[in-house]
Structure 1
Amino acid sequence: GMDPSSTPQWVDALKVQQQCGLMVTLQDEGDVEDGCSYASCSLSREPMVTWFPAGAPQDRFCVAAVWGSKEEQAVQLVWIVADVPGPYPDDDPIDEPCSYGLAGNHAAVGRGRPLIAYSAPKAAGTLAVLLFRQQQSAPILPRSTAVPLDDFCVLEFAREHHLGDLLASRVASFGPVQAPVADTELRPLAHSSGGELKTDPDSPKTLTAALRRTAIEFPERGLTIFDKGGKTCRLSYSELWRRSVLLSRGLSASLRDGVSSAVLQVPRLEDHFPAFWGCLLRSVRPVAIAIPANYGDGAQAVCRKMRNAWQLLDTPPVISSSSHADKVALLRTSADMESMEILTVEDLEALGSAGTSDSPDAHADATEPGDVAFYQLSSGSTGVPKCIQITHGGVVAHIHGEAQFCGISSDDVHVSFLPLDHVVPILTVHCCDVYHGCEEVQADVAWVVSEPLRWLRLLSEHRATRTWAPNFAFKLIADALRRGGPRVRAELEEAAVDLSRCRWWMNAGEQVTIPVCEEFLEQTSRFGVRRCAMQPAFGMAEACTCMTYNNDFRTRAATRLGRSAFVSLGPPVPGVEIRIADDEDQTVREETIGRFQIRGAVVTPGYVRNDEANRASFAGDGWFNTGDLGFIKDGRLFLTGREKEMIIIRGANFYCYEVEDVVNALPSVVPTFTAAVAAQDPHAGTEGLAVFCVPREAAVGGAVSPELVKVISEVRSILVRHIGLTPSHIVPLRKEEFPKTTSGKIQRSQLAKALQAGEFSALLEAIASAQS
């Protein structure tokens, strides 16, 4: 923290959030005298740090708002403080055995003791406002005012203390406050091990053996599936095994010699899973690719991806369903796939039931842990894709490591709604559930995303204990609950929505951001969601998905380097090592940002026919370079972004997701549909910032409307105010034009290439003309 009595620099509320770790919610409250704007600050229930300014009550949690004037040598700093009481644990007392507020914890930290977590702290009934004035040579003297919490109004306070003149000059911007940095050489090396992986010697060593065992031990358990219309069907594990065996036999009778892979284009979830397992039982490596919106448009990104993957894998057959095969056949002409062979689930099952003596059990027994089970295409690939090899042994190591670390068992109930071409739904969810014999709920992504609160209803109705989604889905829930207000909350309460059984809400697949986690937890706490259930994690297909989990989520445990706060993604699971390395692949010290690398049985043996990618990814001695930047602190992983997802402007580093979070806060844009990329700034002669967004109401296309100009102006203003950057380009898009992967990951590189190629030039010229 900072002490205003000794620190000459001042920061506004946003910088307090970024630099000091204090959670601050900024909200424009309207106009103050002659059109002067200001921001109010609301308290977080759990701050990341405890700190109080000189002269303040020592058991108060402080949030700052700054109003400054460039013309005057005076700055007004308002501290809004509220007591957040909480006892220090009896088993680790400090000097005085009594209850302490946050100051008690602050004192404990000063004695070298850790912060403690509060289950549900609440602000006291009053708050105090401390007003500081800084002049060139005058000392800082606090004066305090106490008012009832419900009666406090920032507007009236500003008028009472004559802040209007200061407000007219906007919030002052000051340089970042640099915290003291300990001697780097005293820090331990940035290397963390999950320890020994313990496995039962009698447990299945391959996925196919696991499916067979589960079908015998848990025949009635299985999958509850919701299609795009919300209709439900049931697929028990015994039925999944039966259908997979038939499909395996059908493949044996249908495949030409030498075929070792197949492309899955099966729209119905209840058919996709038997097709997937049928391939595994035949030692055919399936690769799932998203269903294109239009197979007749070969230039569409998904169609190009399918053609390139099909060619990379030596033109394997495409498995679909009889009702979908005609659509898939359009690729023969639209995507230059003339020789493509299409097999249907129905035909394969019919062939398999024709009385063949072929035994899938023999294939299951012959499969080795080192054999490749299936392929996974790298997320967002549209050119020649990276085709990742996923082995049986790697998946089994992941399953055991996760179970050992997170306490997973056959009693769990798992809910997922992300599409099956993403690695987490098929591996971390489905393969894991099959291995343990868990109940599983799989829902169509479009059905859930069109009405996000269906996710909560599914969890409650099925008494789920586990679920997962990327960060954007948690924001969808928070936004839906906030916009719905009392009416929606009453509907959920009337439906007896109870989320208290859900032990883990895994947040993975994209950057985990503190504001989204905070708002989600705030909005869902009334339905039983516990703070400790939020589970930020890191994973990638190249490491059989998640290999670090934060099972002790606290926003105040987030760590900041420079101006940014980062969420802990936890330590590695048993059987996995992680480290941070420099450009020479040498391990650096903790709290140093570098290249994030992993090692363990979960790591892929490599990419199919991609020597260049393999050379770049494998650093020697078993270490795999993830392509992510991050640091390790106390053995825990903190990611700062992708190596290629950092924008450097005039020597300052900005992470794309930080810029996007600022724009996403605007009510005039669609949340999670914002992308920040690097762009050449023709005026500054350096790298600039381009921002893509989807307006919520203003139309995009045709003439540039005044409403669209207003949205663009709002985007520019909020970025200037909050991060001090003026975008070189602001490009509004229609929602269907905004490129995302099926898991919701933003494809920034695709937008950057399109901008560089001049694809948005006409639109930008029209916007410039409308603004002039």
Structure 2
Amino acid sequence: MVEADAMTVVTPTLDPSLPRRYSDFDTLVEAMEYAAQGKRGANFFNARGDLIQSVTWTELRNRAETIGRKLTKLGFEKGDRIALIAETSANFVAFFMGCQYASVLPVPLPLPTSFGGKVGYVSQLRMQMESCEANGIMAPEFMGEMIAEATEGMDMIFSGAMDDYLAVEGDGELRLPVKEDLAYLQYSSGSTRFPHGVSVTHQSLLANTHGMGFHGVKLIDEDRCVSWLPFYHDMGLVGTLLTTITCQVSVDFIPTEEFARRPLSWLRVISQNKGTLTYSPTFGFDICARRAAMRSSAMEGLDLSSVRVAGIGAEMIRPDVLKRFHDTFGEIGFSEKAFLPSYGLAECTLGVSFGKVGVGIEVDLVEEASLTGDRHLLVNGSEDNPRMRKVVNCGTPLPEYDIEIRNEDDNVLPENHVGRVFLRGISVMREYFNDPETTRAVLSPEGWLDTGDMGYMKDGDIYIVGRAKDMIIVNGKNHWPQDIEWAAEQINGIKTGDVAAISVPGENAEEVPMVLVQCRISDVAERTKLIEDIRKQIQASTGVTSLIELVSPRALPRTSSGKLSRTKARNAYLSGNLQALAS
């Protein structure tokens, strides 16, 4: 693989020598073998927009085969799991693909930079590795101490950095997969205490990347992808890495942590390489517009006229943020028609529905009562009505999917009725790995997946209005409330059941995590200290920065069976019926 120097150039956008195939392969290995016959590949940049490394799919294929032989030589068996720390690098891509050549399952997991602190990170890593029963790990060399701590006492076949694997003497035989085999496990929930690994087969993956490339973004020869999304996230892994391999597209990557420091590096790389495809949660567009407003010279030398598709997903889509992005960057060529709303989830590999390419954002004005459960039949109106809410059209489901909107009694609803979204299709997961109970809770014997999302259909398109499940999404990352609650319960004096983790509307309508804690302390100074202790504990354990409100004992609402009701707690707090104690 090539380290960038003054003479290094990015892999080409166009490659007339290799006709494009839209993921019409049985396995990821077959797709890699085909892409390796061409000239395209992956390129890695820093926050200044400098090229650090350029590697063709051919070079990555060769390195992947070498890694596959090392894995079988080490004694990894078919279906074994290797935790793979998701550094944005050619090493990650080569190792992920190397696992395919040995029929070993890579399990992408986040870097410590995406977390709140060493203790919380090591605990998260340990729990996810135990969940998937990993017997190997590959991580950057600088993480050696954390990896040793996280794997202490675990039965590892091998643990080390890329060079440690490559230094293994001798080679084993390749062990190639078939389409029914699992390709990888995806931990997308952000859960630390209760992790769920989504089992994705080669067949599901290739069906989904075909749908996204051919039907979703409608790939053309001139397309080039640019991404800052992390490889442990389904949108980053499947959307911007595996789809570019299986559909033979050159792609430019900026590490997520570099983007966080210098968001405009994303736009700089798009501009200099004439990127046409990119994807982000809403907050990525938001942070770029905010950063540009802080610097008068922010847009010097930038040209976004090449962008054909600016996809949005991973969280509720906020039209106001996208309008601000266009208002900011329209003067340097960005077209509002490039926005492409979509809907997806890891349990469906990634993509479920896509808007119309070249149309932009389409919204439905719906009365709030229809969206909060007070009424299920939609009532449309005008923007003059303060009770109206803009709901974004997330587009037409890919052809593979059957979709149903159901009510509380599991009856299928007609169009223009809000209910729970159920899906069935080739790309739906096989199971949550090693977790039959949770699998049964969301996946029926007939293959119907309960997404936990609320929405409605209109003229064949799907509109997502919220979540029936309690998941909290912050900056595109999912957080299970149970994890946050468990962290708070570790503080002395807080009992199990004293805590409810919810989300409340923040500035610009984004979600803000809030933790409601039943408090038995009367001294105001002690209450203030308790709030700070809870905040620090949650940050260290989960990486989440939360608002903390203390409430009276027995104030948190329960269901008829005595379980905590986060939905009722949230509604009570927002309506003013659940008052915070003085602190």
TM-score using structure 2 length? 0.74
Distance 1:598 1:371, change over 3 A: same
| SS of equivalent residue, structure 2 residue 334 | coil
The residue type equivalent to 1:313 in the other structure is C
Structure 1 residue 409, shift from structure 2 partner: 3.8
Contact 2:71–2:102 under 8 Å retained in 1 = yes
Instruction: Tell me the SS of whatever aligns to 1:602.
Output: coil
Tell me what 2:104 maps to.
284
Per-residue CA deviation, residues 577-631 of structure 1 (Å, 9 max, x unaligned), is: 2221122332112222211111111111111121221111113532111111111
State the identity %. 23
With over 3 angstroms needed to count, the CA separation of the structure-2 counterparts of 1:673 and 1:646, relative to structure 1, is closer
Q: CA deviation at 1:375?
A: 0.3
Superposition pairs of residues 543-562 of structure 1, within 5 angstroms: 543-551=348-356, 553=359, 557-562=363-368
Q: Give the aligned partner of residue 578 of structure 1.
A: 403
Give 1:442's aligned residue: 253
2:334 paired residue number: 529
Q: 1:357 to 1:413 in 2, by over 3 A?
A: same
Distance 1:289 1:548 in 2: 26
Q: CA deviation at 1:258?
A: 6.8
Which of 201, 204, 207 is matched with 2:28 structurally? 207
Which digits, 9 at most, give the CA deviation of each residue in 1:26-76, with x for residues without a partner? xxxxxxxxxxxxxxxxxxxxxxxxxxxxxxxxxxxxxxxxxxxxxxxxxxx
Give the CA deviation at 1:677: 6.2
What is the rounded CA distance, in whole Å, between the counterparts of 2:66 and 2:87 in structure 1?
Answer: 19
Structure 1 residues 651-670: aligned runs within 5 Å: 659-660=504-505, 663-665=506-508
> What is the distance in 1 between the residues matched to 2:351 and 2:258?
26
CA contact (8 A) 1:305 1:384 kept: no
CA distance in 2, matches of 1:418, 1:260: 27
- 1:343 partner letter: G
* Closer, same or farther: CA 600–260 of 1 in aligned 2, 3 Å: same
CA contact (8 A) 2:196 2:432 kept: yes
2:117 touches 2:541 (CA, 8 Å); kept in 1?
Answer: no
Question: CA–CA distance in 1 between the matches of 2:160 and 2:330?
Answer: 48
Matches within 5 A, 1:642-653: 642-645=467-470
1:404 corresponds in structure 2 to 214
- Secondary structure of 2:397's match? coil
The 5 Å alignment of 1:256-271 reads: 256=76, 260-265=80-85, 267=87, 269-271=89-91
- Secondary structure of 1:619's counterpart equals coil
Deviation of residue 348 (structure 1)?
Answer: 2.3
- How far the C-alpha of 1:483 sits from its partner, in A, is 3.2
Q: Which consecutive unaligned segments of at least 5 residues does structure 1 have?
A: 1-198, 648-655, 666-670, 683-700, 705-728, 759-765
- The structure-2 alpha-carbon separation of the partners of 1:270 and 1:518, relative to structure 1 and needing over 3 Å to count, comes to same
What amino acid is the match of 2:364?
A
Matched residue type, 1:627: G
Shift of 1:747: 8.8
In structure 2, C-alpha distance between the alignment counterparts of 1:501 and 1:473, rounded to whole Å: 19
Change (3 A) 1:452 1:344: closer
Secondary structure of the corresponding residue to residue 400 of structure 1: helix
| 1:82 equivalent in structure 2 | none
Go from structure 1 to structure 2 and tell me whether the alpha carbon gap of 1:532 and 1:610 turns closer, same or farther (over 3 Å shift).
same
Equivalence for 1:381? 191
Q: Is the 8 A contact 1:536 1:568 kept in 2?
A: yes
Q: Which residue of 1 aligns with 2:64?
A: 244
Find 1:737's aligned residue among 522, 525, 539: 539
Q: How does 1:712-751 map to 2 (within 5 A)?
A: 737=539
Comparing 432-441 and 258-267, the one that deviates more: 258-267
What corresponds to 2:491 in structure 1?
A: none
Pair 1:753–1:500, CA change in 2 (3 A): farther
The alpha-carbon deviation at position 326 of structure 1 amounts to: 4.0
Please identify the structure whose Cα radius of gyration is greater.
Answer: 1
- How many angstroms does 1:674 deviate by? 2.9
SS of the equivalent of 1:591 reads coil
**Deviation of the 1:482 alpha carbon:** 2.8
Question: What amino acid is the match of 1:560?
Answer: V
- 2:94 is matched with 274
Residues 714-770 of structure 1: per-residue CA shift (max 9 Å, x gap): xxxxxxxxxxxxxxx9999689939988xxxx798x989999999xxxxxxx9945x
Deviation of 1:443 after TM superposition, in Å, equals: 1.0
| Correspondences of 1:293-442 after superposition (within 5 Å) | 293=113, 299-300=119-120, 302-333=121-152, 337=154, 341-351=158-168, 354=170, 356=171, 358=173, 360=174, 363-364=175-176, 367-405=177-215, 406-442=217-253
Indicate if the aligned counterparts of 1:629 and 1:643 stay in contact, CA closer than 8 A.
yes
Q: Give CA-to-partner distance per residue, 1:127-182, whole Å, 9 cap, x none.
A: xxxxxxxxxxxxxxxxxxxxxxxxxxxxxxxxxxxxxxxxxxxxxxxxxxxxxxxx
How far off is 1:338 after superposition?
Answer: 7.6
Deviations 1:617-646 (A, max 9, x none): 113532111111111112111111111349
Normalised to the residue count of structure 1, the TM-score between the two structures is 0.57
In structure 2, do the counterparts of structure 1 residues 548 and 507 end up closer, same or farther at CA, with 3 Å as the change threshold? same
- Partners of 2:338 and 2:360 within 8 A in 1: no
Out of 304, 308, 311, the position equivalent to 1:499 is 304
- The letter for the 2-side match of 1:558 is D
| 1:603 is the counterpart of 2:428 | yes
SS in 2 for 1:558: strand
Map Cα deviations across residues 109-141 of structure 1 (whole Å, 9 max, x no partner).
xxxxxxxxxxxxxxxxxxxxxxxxxxxxxxxxx
Which residue identity is paired with 2:436?
Answer: D
- Indicate the RMSD between aligned Cα atoms, in angstroms: 4.0
Q: Secondary structure at the match of 2:42?
A: strand
The whole-number CA distance in structure 2 between the counterparts of 1:201 and 1:228 is 31
Aligned length: 485
Structure with the larger RCO, 1 or 2 (CA within 8 Å, 6+ apart): 2
Q: Cα distance 1:594–1:504, how it changes in 2: closer, same or farther (>3 A)?
A: same
> 460, 463, 478: which one pairs with 2:274?
463
Contact kept, 8 Å, 2:227 with 2:252, in 1: the verdict is yes
1:532 CA displacement: 1.5
Question: Counterpart of 1:330 in 2: which secondary structure?
Answer: helix
- Distance verdict in 2 for CA 1:619–1:470, change over 3 Å: same
Q: Secondary structure at the match of 2:444?
A: strand
Do structure 1's residue 674 and structure 2's residue 512 form an aligned pair?
A: yes
Change (3 A) 1:547 1:264: same
